[in-house]
Amino acid sequence: MVTRVGPGVRRAEEQWGTVITLDVRDDIDEEVIDGCFDWFRRVDDLFSTWRPDTEIMRIGRGTLLPEDASPEVREVLDLCEQMRLESYGAFDISVGANPDLPARPGRAPLDPSGLVKGWAVAKAGEMLRNAGASSFFVTAGGYLVARGRPQHDEAGGWRVGVQHPWERDRVAAVLSISDRAVATSGRYERGEHIIDPRSGRPAEGLASVTVVGRDLAVADAYATATMVLGPVDGMPWLASRVGYEGMAIGDDRVVTTTAGFDRYRI
């Protein structure tokens, strides 16, 4: 395990049904950390699909017009639409509202959770940078942004382990990450929870997809879309995305990576 040296603060809190960890290696005011966790609570208030009163649920029910929603919600909806077009519909937050697909009880009509966690974690990273932090990471349920380097006198980036899908205490790859975002989408943790918006059926063939790039919201959406596109269509599509590299682990235990992914591997 890594031992702490120098100043800094690390805090983990339960939110969004998962745990968010924030680790800053600079001297930083605790209020900035508090502000990040306040932000995560606001994101939950706006986007949770588990409560009927959030803006995203009201828009889904038709009781709130998107143009009357908060700027954050409009930003996320715009980004989701951009991702839907880029992925030829493999990423689509409105699958729950599609009348052509079999109804699934409990599914929200609008569910941007395939992007919003990454987006929110990225924003927290920006808050830390604006407060003067230069060496930190923020992670929530597999989505992370890592800035600078873990020790100020060390050349290597943050060592990020890609979770092994079937061995909980092992990793399938180790990456060196600095000033980049990493998103992993997978089927192994919460069951088959990634639905192909085009068929309404669970995505099949890939156990997990990890995407590295600058913007965590985009990396998050790309990982989800690649899972949905599956083993044949997914990785060629991901390889054609400029500035993003990825690694897919198939149900057949075959690992496929885009050509530029190796530069992040240790």
- The residues in 58-117 that bind another protein, with binding defined as CB under 8 A, are 85, 87-90, 117
| Longest Cα–Cα distance in the chain | 57
How many CA atoms lie less than 13 Å away from 51 in the CB half-sphere? 11
Please pick, from the candidates 182, 195, 206, 217, the single residue that binds another protein as defined by CB under 8 A: 182
Q: Using the minimum distance from each CB to another protein, give the nearer residue, 23 or 72.
A: 23
Please select the residue that binds another protein; options are 161, 179, 192, 214, rule is CB under 8 A: 161
Does position 164 interact with another protein (CB under 8 A)? The reply is yes
* Signed CA dihedral, 142, 148, 150, 155: sign only: positive
Q: Which is nearer to another protein, 53 or 169 (CB)?
A: 169
**Residue 134 interacts with another protein (CB under 8 A): yes or no:** no
Token code pair at residue 244: 């993003």
Closer residue to another protein, CB minimum distance, 69 or 141? 141
By CB under 8 A, which span of 58-66, 102-110, 124-132, 237-245 interacts with another protein? 237-245
Q: Does 198 bind another protein (CB under 8 A)?
A: yes
Beta bridge partners of 32: none
CA distance 47 to 71: 12
User: For another protein, which residue of 44, 75, 81, 189 counts as binding (CB under 8 A)?
Assistant: 189
Of 74 and 159, nearer to another protein (C-beta) is 159
CA dihedral (166, 146, 56, 241) positive or negative: negative
Helix (H) or strand (E) holding 143: strand 143-147
Binding positions for another protein, 37-56, rule CB under 8 A: none
Residue in 56, 160, 217, 221 binding another protein, rule: CB under 8 A? 160
Our CB check for another protein shows the closer of 54 and 210 to be: 210
Query: For another protein, which stretch binds (CB under 8 A), given 33-41, 66-74, 126-134, 197-205?
Result: 197-205
B/e letters for 128-158, b = 16+ CB within 10 Å, e = fewer, are beebebebbbbbbbbbbbbbbbbeeeeeebb
- CB neighbour class for 210 (10 Å; exposed up to 12, middle 13-18, buried from 19): buried
